Structure 1
Amino acid sequence: MDKIAVLIPCYNESKTIEKVVTDFRKQLPEAVIYVYDNNSTDGTDEIARKAGAVVRYEFQQGKGNVIRRMFAEIDAQCYVMVDGDDTYPADQVKQMVDKVLINRADMVVGDRLSSTYFEENKRPFHNFGNSIVRASINALFKNDIKDIMTGYRAFSYRFVKTFPVLSKGFEIETEMSIHAIDKNMYVENVVIEYRDRPQGSESKLNTYSDGFKVIKTIIKLFRTYRPMGFFGLISVILFLLAMVFVIPVVVTYVKTGLVPNFPTLIVCGFATIAAIQSLFAGLILQTIYQKNRQDFEMVLYRVTKEGKCDEE
């Protein structure tokens, strides 16, 4: 087992990967630096290898697929995940590593949004999107992670080995954050400086298509991890709609003994039935979710014990 593993997922980062590997080797000489090449065509893998990184490959396209492979293949006491685009400074990595190895944090978030992100990032929709994602997740899941979408993080062994990677692309960061919140993992934030990509280096993130994927991921994970809240909200909306439309029908019936809008009454009846079904679906799924949480705690116990044995 490595003491520290630096994980760098890469796709066509030939302009920056040498500097990223060199900077992290300088800051963490005891670490093993892994570069996972994701079908690059610009020689990223050879440049990384010459810079001293251990180069491996993931042929399924997408950042989520790369991280899934990394987490499965590498064992370490502390993992550092960073992008290969040289937007995250290596000089703050020791602070993040110490929070895992000394403070026993499960996930350390490199917080760009509290420092220079909004000044350095030249893509206004990215800035707006990051703010919306952070606000929505912290509201839905009752937490205070400062930067949901950051690609600069440190993890404990037990986080990595109990995190089910389901996302295929850039929505993986959102999935990590929600998993940590839901499973009551110990999360710390470290404010980091952020710099925009150097000239000639292009972002692989599509503001609109990847943004919609992130929003879709948030909704799906809210349904999975907060079923009572999700289906309860649907139930309340359906019930309120039914009441809004049925009250005039009832008032007319009381006054005249007639039901002039019979189709409205039928639709309201079906809406009320749907609201009741949604409520009970939420209750059943909440019970299943609670049992899964209990099972997860036992898995977490075994993984934690396994990690300590490997350290010894």
Structure 2
Amino acid sequence: MCMSEQIETPTIAVLLPCYNEEVTIGKVVRDFKAALPDAIIYVYDNNSTDRTAEIATAEGAIVRKEPRQGKGNVVRAMFEDIDADVYVMADGDDTYPADAAPAMVAKVLEGYDMVIGDRLSSTYFQENKRPFHNFGNRLVRDSINGLFHAHVTDIMTGYRAFSFTFAKTYPVLSRGFEIETEMTIHSLNNNLRLFEMPIQYRDRPAGSVSKLDTVGDGIKVMSTIFRMIREYKPLPFFGGIGLAIGIIGAVLCGMVTMEFMHTGVVLRFPTLIGATMLVIAGLLLIATGIILDVIAKNNRKEFVVDANRFAYMKRH
């Protein structure tokens, strides 16, 4: 008996988290409708006080409300609510070119879990007029690449495409703009298939105001990196701290021991007690790192099982 397979057209969802983007959202929706005519465009209005939702609706986008403030909360709602074969996420500020979306979608359909719209290899440093943002991007990129032995160029870009499996298995923990950093670290830690695609970044048009707080959001991003390294790389984190403390304790113990060998008397009992406690604390931190490293590896195994389960469900 012959059976013919019906090839279904993949479903594509364009996700646009927005907060007070009335100046640009109309053009962004039109651009994505032109670039991906078969896609469904979702605008998630995150408590805007302007006409963002009204304009997006008039342009044909599906508008939904997300009352929890912060981009991370919006992304969490998007991934929970929407089912699609491919997700394209961009900002509503018209800084990312919609005409790059078809190529990003194609890469996801080839089998990549996440496609990153790489701003830093093209025009970002020329277009972005905020020097601390440029410094922050370099700092975050170099820190994460060094810790995970990776070569990702743009860690914090908001222009990305995802597979169904990624969207449904990614645990969104961040609430704000640190979400992009969290996505990248999550992908590197779980050895997901990443593809970077250079895009032509452009700065916000006149009248459009950035919602980023350079210092505040920078601190949140660095806190996210610190937290995720502690959770994903516990052995280097706790082991490194424990080794440093243990070495300090051992050096102090050695100094007291040398004095005892020369004089036959322990002259600094408080130093000896403190040094011994430092050595013990260092050993406990190293042991903690080893235990948590085993737990982290088991968590990665569970993630692979969950990802395989979602991939199987999607195929069937």
Q: Do Structure 1 and Structure 2 share a fold, with TM-score over 0.5? A: yes
Q: Return the letter of the residue paired with 1:43.
A: R
Alignment check: 8 A CA contact 1:116 1:194 kept: yes
1:159 corresponds in structure 2 to 166
1:82 corresponds in structure 2 to 90
Q: Which of the residues 139, 153, 176 maps onto 2:183?
A: 176
Alignment check: 8 A CA contact 2:243 2:283 kept: no
CA deviation after TM superposition for structure 1 residue 250, in Å: 1.8
1:148 corresponds in structure 2 to 155
What is the SS of the residue equivalent to 2:137?
helix
What is the SS of the residue equivalent to 2:254?
helix
Q: Which of the residues 224, 228, 231 maps onto 2:235?
A: 228
Partners of 2:301 and 2:49 lie apart in 1 by 45
1:240 corresponds in structure 2 to 247
My pick for the range that moved more, 288-297 or 123-132, is 288-297
**2:249 pairs with 1:261:** no
Q: Which of the residues 11, 29, 34 maps onto 2:19?
A: 11
Partners of 1:145 and 1:40 lie apart in 2 by 33
Partners of 1:6 and 1:195 lie apart in 2 by 19
CA deviation after TM superposition for structure 1 residue 2, in Å: 6.7
Q: Residues 136-172 of structure 1: CA distance to partner in whole angstroms, max 9, x if unpaired? A: 0011111111111000000000001000000000010
Alignment of 1:197-216 (within 5 A): 197-216=204-223
- Indicate the percent of aligned positions where both proteins have the same amino acid: 55
Alignment check: 8 A CA contact 1:14 1:44 kept: yes
1:59 corresponds in structure 2 to 67
Partners of 1:185 and 1:271 lie apart in 2 by 39
Q: Residues 118-144 of structure 1: CA distance to partner in whole angstroms, max 9, x if unpaired? A: 111000000000000000001111111
1:286 corresponds in structure 2 to 293
**2:71 pairs with 1:44:** no
**2:189 pairs with 1:219:** no
Alignment check: 8 A CA contact 1:171 1:214 kept: yes
1:249 corresponds in structure 2 to 256
**2:148 pairs with 1:135:** no
CA deviation after TM superposition for structure 1 residue 239, in Å: 1.2
Alignment check: 8 A CA contact 1:2 1:32 kept: no
CA deviation after TM superposition for structure 1 residue 251, in Å: 1.4
**Alpha-carbon RMSD:** 1.1
CA deviation after TM superposition for structure 1 residue 244, in Å: 3.1
For structure 1, the 5+ residue unaligned runs are: none
TM-score, with structure 1 as normaliser: 0.97
Seen in structure 2, the aligned counterparts of structure 1 residues 128 and 224 have a Cα distance that, compared at 3 Å, is: same
Q: Residues 238-274 of structure 1: CA distance to partner in whole angstroms, max 9, x if unpaired? A: 1122133333222111111122222111111111111
**2:27 pairs with 1:22:** no
Alignment check: 8 A CA contact 2:115 2:196 kept: yes
Partners of 1:186 and 1:255 lie apart in 2 by 62
1:121 corresponds in structure 2 to 128
**2:282 pairs with 1:275:** yes
What is the SS of the residue equivalent to 2:247?
helix
For structure 2, the 5+ residue unaligned runs are: 1-8
Alignment of 1:84-103 (within 5 A): 84-101=92-109, 103=110
Partners of 2:189 and 2:40 lie apart in 1 by 30
What is the SS of the residue equivalent to 2:176?
coil
TM-score, with structure 2 as normaliser: 0.95
Alignment check: 8 A CA contact 2:116 2:157 kept: yes
